[in-house]
Structure 1
Amino acid sequence: MKDSHHQHCCGKESYNISGSSCCNGSITLGLSQLVSDCCGSVAYNPLNEICCDGSLHTRSSTRTKCCGKDMYLTTTHLCCGGNKTFPLKENHSCCGSETYNMTTHCCCINTTLKIMPKNDTCCPKPTDSKCQQAPSTYTQTDKDTSKGQSMCGTKSYNHREEMCCSGNLYKVSALTKCCGKAVYTLSDDNVLCCNGILYHNVPEQSECVGGVIYIPENTTCQMSVRPRLGEHCCGGQTFNPSMHICCNGHSHNKMHGNFCCGSDVYDHHNQSLRCCSGHLYYLTHSSRKAECCGKLLLQHNNQTCCSSSTNTVIYDTKPNHSCCGHYYYNTSLWSCCAERLKPTPKPNSPPAQYRLKLLADLVPEMCNKSVFFGKVESVALENDQRHVVLKVWQVGVKLEMFIKNPWLHVSLDHCSSPATDNGMTYFWEENNGEYKLLSHPVDLTSDIYMFYSVCYQKKG
C-alpha cells in the first residue's frame, strides 16, 4: 500500500488528521481532528459527548451544558457562578452564585454582587439608560454592512479601506490585486501572478498559461528548461502528450495508464489499484472490495465512512449512530434531514439511506446502468418530498430516454436524501422510473471525460 498522506506532528510523533486527533501532545486514534474537540489529552466527538472542566461525559441531551465539572439541562436548571445548579423557575435569574426573583428583587452591582429588594436605591430604575441593558456579545459572524464591516479570517475590517487576501489584510487601492495571500499592483514591473503564486523579477511580456510561466522569446517551462517549438510543459520538464501523460507536474508513459491519481498514473481497470482522492493504493486480493473514504481506504467492518461535499471522515462504528453528511451522530440526541443536524431526535425517522461518492469511485461499476448527468435548475419542497427540475447534460446507457426532452422532473424523499444545490451537476441513476442521487457535484469536463473514457474502454 502506498502511504502518501500528508502527516502532521503531535509532540514527537506523526499522525494523519483524517483518522486521528492530537490533544496536548497525545494522539487519539479512530477520530478525525476535522470533527473532534479536546478534553485534556483526549479527543472526543462534541456531538455526542461534552467536556466539563476536564471531565468527559456522554451527552444526555443536545441541550446539555456544563456547570463546573457536572452537566445540566438548560431546559430544567440554571447554572449560577459557574459551578452551582438550581431548578429553573419562572422569572428567576442568577446573581453571582445564587438565584433571585426578578419581579421582587434585583441584582446589585457594587463592589460585589448582592440580591436586594427591587425598591432599593441600587436597583436600576425604569428611566435608566437602555444602553445598560443592551447585549454585549458579538460574534465573528456578525456584520455591520452599513459601515462596510466584514470578516477576514478572525479579524474584522472595513472593506472600503482594506482588502482581504486569503486571510491577510492590505490597504485597498483601485490598482491593488490579490494573488493568494500576497498583494501586488497593476503598475508593478516584472511581477506576475500565476495560479495564486506571485512571481518577482519576471521578464516583461511573460504570460501565465495553464499554471505555467511562459516567456515568448524563448518559451521556457517555469524558466528551467527550453523545449522545442510545440512541446508542452509538465512541471519543470517537457513532455509529448501523444506518448505521455502529465499528473501534477510529473510525466508518465501512457503505457502505464491514462488516468492521474495525484502525481501518479494508473490503469482504472487494474483491480489491484485503487485511487482515493489523489492517493493511490496497491491492493491485496483480500482488500479488493475495500471502499474509498476520502483519501483513506475503508477496509474494516468496524469502521463507518461519513461524507459531505466538504469533508470525508472515518469513525469507529457504534450502535444507534448514523451519518449526517460528514458527522456521526447519536440518533437518540439528534435527527438529520437533508444532511442537516437538528437537536430534536425523532425515533421513527429513517436515517440517510446512502452516502454520496466521488464519480471516480462509482465507475466502472456504473457503466452498464441507466445513469446520467443532471444539473439542478430548481428545487421545491412539498410535505416530505423534494421536487427537483434537472437539465440532462449527458446520459449513460439509455440515451433515447432523454433526447426528446432534456428537462427531467425528479422527486426525492427530502430528509433521507442528500442535499442538492441549485446550479450544480450531479451523477444520477434511473431504475424503473425511480431516481437516485449518486455523486457529489461533478466537473462537466474532466468527470464526464473520465466516465465515458472508462466505460467505452470497458466495452472495448
Structure 2
Amino acid sequence: MIFILVIFSLLSTAKSSIRPWIDICRTMQYDPLIDTCCNGIIHFGSGRNCCGITSYDRNFYTCCNGILHQGKEKKCCGTKLYDPDLNTCCNGVLYDGKGKSCCGTKEYDPDFTTCCNRIINFGRGKKCCGTKAYDPELNTCCNGKILFGSNKNCCETKGHNPDINTCCNGVIHDGKGKSCCGNNVYDPDYNTCCNGVINFGRGKKCCGTKAYDPKLNSCCNGKILFGRGKTCCKTKGYNPDLNTCCDEVIYDGKGKSCCGSFIFDPEFNTCCNGVIHFGRGKHCCGTKTYDPELNTCCNGKIHFGSGQKCL
C-alpha cells in the first residue's frame, strides 16, 4: 500500500514537472500544447486562430470582425468578404467597382466632387473649410467660415486686410500694426497695458490690471503700496531690515522667529504647528509637545509609553 502511494506521488510530481505550461481559459485549466482558448471557450487543437469564441484554421478560413468566412486570407469589409478587383470598401460599406474614392462610408468621384471631413461637395479640386468646399481664388476660410474674397487674413471668423487694419482678439480696428490690449488697440507711447486693461502713462509696471511707477510705489499681490522697493508680507509692504513678517502680520525687529502669525523666542519656547509652548527644543506631536522618554507620538496623537510602534 505504501509502495503504491509512493509511485502515485512520483507520477503526480513528474506530471507537474513535465507540463508546467498549464494555463487558464477564463475559469478552466487547459494545455495550450493540446487545446486553444478563444475568449473563454476551449477548443481542441493547439495554436489555432480565434474568431470571437470560435477557433479556425487560417489556411481555410478568413475572420472578418468576429464572423468566419470560407477562403484563405481574403479581404474584409466590416464583417463581409469582398474582392478588391471587383468592389470598393468604404469604412465597412461595399460598392461595385474597383478602386473608387471614399468619403466616410460613401463613394465619390474626385473628378467632379470634393470630400470635406466625410461630406461630399460639388466641384473638383476645391479646398475644405470644415465640411464645406470652397475656391481659394474667390474665397477665404477663417476658422470654419467661408468669406468672400481671396487671400484675406483671419481675425477669428472675420477677414481683414493687415495693410489697413489691426486684429485684436477677434475685433478689427482701423490702422495698420497697432498694439493690442485685450480686444482694444492702444498707443504704448502714451499708455501701458496691464492684463487687458489700458492705463494712462507709458513704460509703467503692472500690478494686476493697474499700472504703477516702481520709482514711487511697490506691488504686493495685486495691491499697489506707497513707497518703492518694499518687501511683501502678503498684501502689505515692510522693511526686512527693521521688521519681521509672520503670515501677513508685521512685527518690530529684524529676523525674529515665527510660529504661525506670532513671533516667539526659540531660546525659551517651542513652536508646534502654529502653537507656542513654554520650554525650548521640545518634541512636537501635532500642535502639542511630548517627552519621547515617557510617551510615543502616532499620527499627531500622544500615547503613554515610550518606543511604541504606530499602527
Q: TM-score, normalised by structure 2?
A: 0.33
Q: Which has the higher contact order (CA 8 A, sep 6+)?
A: 1
TM-score where L is the length of structure 1: 0.23
Structure with max Cα Rg: 2
